[in-house]
């Protein structure tokens, strides 16, 4: 398994959902979306956003309007359509279900690993025996 590819695919899988959420807050300029997606580490490639916005517009999920700019050409601001809001509601339900399912599986794995490994060791350093929380020396003596 190529971990890097899997990570990219996971991010791509939720990209449309995140874009719809960002736009749902109000009219937004594409570069502001890009900034938020980049800072959230969802997307780092600018060339991915514009074709996706076009696809979402063609699907009727969003629209845009041109707004004059004082510092250059007019800017395109995106907003959700009624279909986009309805689709986002459905995607929210799916996300909640998926999130709970994945957290359940990951949580069971963590519990399983904890039970296999026994109590967690604290204060392990090279050349010394590990100490558990109950056998730590009293440093106040």
pLDDT of residue 49: 92
Q: How confident is the model at residue 112 (pLDDT cuts 50, 70, 90)?
A: confident
Domain that holds residue 50: 3-98
- Total number of domains in the chain: 1
Overall pTM > 0.85: no
pLDDT score of 91 more than 60: yes
The answer to the question of residue 106 being in a domain is: no
The answer to the question of residue 84 being in a domain is: yes
To the nearest whole number, what is the mean pLDDT of the chain?
84
Burial of 24 from C-beta contacts in 10 A (0-12 / 13-18 / 19+): middle
The answer to the question of residue 125 being in a domain is: no
The answer to the question of residue 21 being in a domain is: yes
Residue with the larger pLDDT of the pair 109 and 84: 84
The answer to the question of residue 73 being in a domain is: yes
Angle at which helices 30-39 and 3-24 pack, to 10 degrees?
Answer: 130
């Amino acid at each position: 398994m190529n971990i890097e590819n899997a990570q990219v695919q996971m991010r791509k899988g939720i990209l449309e959902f995140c874009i719809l959420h960002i736009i749902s807050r109000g009219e937004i300029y594409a570069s502001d979306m890009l900034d938020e997606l980049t800072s959230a580490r969802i997307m780092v490639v600018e060339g991915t956003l514009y074709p996706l916005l076009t696809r979402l517009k063609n699907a009727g999920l969003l629209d845009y309007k041109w707004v004059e700019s004082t510092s250059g050409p007019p800017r395109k601001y995106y907003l959700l359509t009624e279909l986009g809001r309805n689709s986002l509601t459905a995607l929210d339900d799916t996300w909640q279900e998926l999130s709970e399912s994945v957290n359940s599986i990951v949580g069971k794995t963590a519990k399983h690993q904890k039970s296999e490994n026994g109590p967690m060791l604290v204060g392990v350093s090279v050349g010394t025996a590990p100490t558990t929380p109950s056998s730590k020396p009293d440093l106040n003596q």
